[in-house]
Amino acid sequence: MELKTTTDIRIIKADSSKINSVDFENLTFGNIFTDHMLICDYNNGKWEQPVIMPYEPFTLDPSAKVFHYGQAIFEGMKAYKDEHDDVWLFRPDQNFDRFNKSAVRLAMPEVPEDVFLGGLHKLLEIEKEWVKKGFGNALYIRPFMIATGSGVVAAPSTQYRFTIILSPAKSYYSGEVKVVIAEHFSRAANGGIGAAKAAGNYSGQFYPTKLANEQGFQQIIWTDDATHTKLEEAGTMNVFFRINDTLYTAPISERILDGVTRKSIIELATKEGIDVQVRPVLVDEIVEAAKNGTLQEIFGAGTAAVVNPIVGFSYKETYYELPKPENSFATFIKQQLTGIQYKQIEDTFGWTVKI
């Protein structure tokens, strides 16, 4: 696909760059940001001219509705640099579409394509040197929108700010990941905003995840809100289960995010001849598979981590260690997917977009 560009953009360059002060070999995820950001404000029923400007704080009225009613959405993307110094995006159209679906669900205005994708294109052109070569290096992209209108009346804002910030990154997770299957807490409910990338979805996870951390687990596998019998997501990622040589993952719904990595894995695995079943996955069948030895792997899938293997899970205070298969689907899929992203493997799907 081609990325839609825009020329109607104001550019204010930073006086100097901080890039030479950054230790790119020792990055903490999401703590360092590039020299510039993009902002575009929505006022009087229309989007204003986007501006690329130096990265800096901006001022909001204390009564801004984002603080009081949580109108805030975001996306997570990455830019990669190949061995020829070309910068690539991975399926940015999917992030753009999902961002606007989130906007609609939270009664926020949709962002035009030339502002989101065109503005991102121009921003990445300016910040190209922040995208470092080498497998595992990437530039994390965080588009987000907040309600900036003032007033504490419980109603949607009439003013909004769309922003894109960039952060150099390496691998998101490190070390072994153990999870606990949720028996009480839920990530989302039917009729709610679980399918949107809304800020409140994530803040609601912090407390139960904190409890899991205190028990020695890194993440939670969330279950459905009504019965807690269906497995849905793992932490902030979609989740896959391998029983024998079949991959299972839950279908998207009002509760489950339509992950870009998730849908890419389904397409890639299917093309590679792996049997993928998209259907409700029950807690009982995974526990039984762990007991009888047919459960081979569990792994999370998301933009930040790409594919993150899970070494074991706890349910009803019983811990189940997973085997380490020689022909790991998680390892193979991650190699294939990242190979496409870094242009080391031919992209036969047409997923990558050159900046």
Same structural domain, 217 and 282: yes
Distances (CA, A) of 10 to 15, 49, 53, 115, 122: 16, 7, 8, 12, 11
**Is there a domain that residue 2 lies in?**
no
132, 154, 170 - which closes a domain: 170
Contact 90, 78 (CB under 8 A): yes
Same structural domain, 35 and 147: yes
Task: List the CATH number of the domain containing 135.
Answer: 3.30.470.10
Q: Strands, DSSP E only, in 148-252?
A: 160-169, 178-181, 219-223, 230-234, 237-243, 246-249
The residue type found at 273 is G
- Other Cβ atoms within 10 Å of 183 Cβ, number: 11
**Is there a domain that residue 188 lies in?**
yes
Same structural domain, 141 and 194: no
User: In the chain, how many domains are there?
Assistant: 2
Looking at residue 122, its pLDDT comes to 97
pLDDT digits (tens, 9 = 90+) for 24-41: 988 988 899 999 999 999
The DSSP secondary structure of 316-341, one letter per residue, reads TTEEEEPP--TT-HHHHHHHHHHHHH
Helix (H, G, I), strand (E, B) or coil at 84: coil
Same structural domain, 123 and 95: yes
Same structural domain, 105 and 215: no
Same structural domain, 327 and 194: yes
pLDDT digits (tens, 9 = 90+) for 43-81: 999 999 999 999 999 999 999 999 999 999 999 999 999
Same structural domain, 18 and 161: yes
**Is there a domain that residue 348 lies in?**
no
**Is there a domain that residue 138 lies in?**
yes
Apex 288 CA angle, 283 and 291, nearest 5: 130
Segments forming the whole domain that contains residue 263: 178-341
Quote the distance between the C-alpha of residue 319 and its chain's center: 28
**Is there a domain that residue 1 lies in?**
no
Same structural domain, 163 and 199: no
Same structural domain, 125 and 60: yes
User: pLDDT digit of tens for each residue in the chain (355 aa)?
Assistant: 455 555 689 999 999 999 999 999 889 888 999 999 999 999 999 999 999 999 999 999 999 999 999 999 999 999 999 999 999 999 999 999 999 999 999 999 999 999 999 999 999 999 999 999 988 899 999 999 999 999 999 999 999 999 999 999 987 655 689 999 999 999 999 999 999 999 999 999 999 999 999 999 999 999 999 999 999 999 889 999 999 999 999 999 999 989 999 999 999 999 999 999 999 999 999 999 999 999 999 999 998 888 999 999 999 999 999 999 989 999 999 999 999 999 999 999 999 999 9
CA distance 261 to 241: 15
Same structural domain, 258 and 326: yes
**Is there a domain that residue 351 lies in?**
no
130, 148, 170 - which closes a domain: 170
146, 170, 194 - which closes a domain: 170
pTM of the model: 0.93
Same structural domain, 237 and 113: no
Task: List the CATH number of the domain containing 328.
Answer: 3.20.10.10
**Is there a domain that residue 355 lies in?**
no
- Other Cβ atoms within 10 Å of 330 Cβ, number: 22
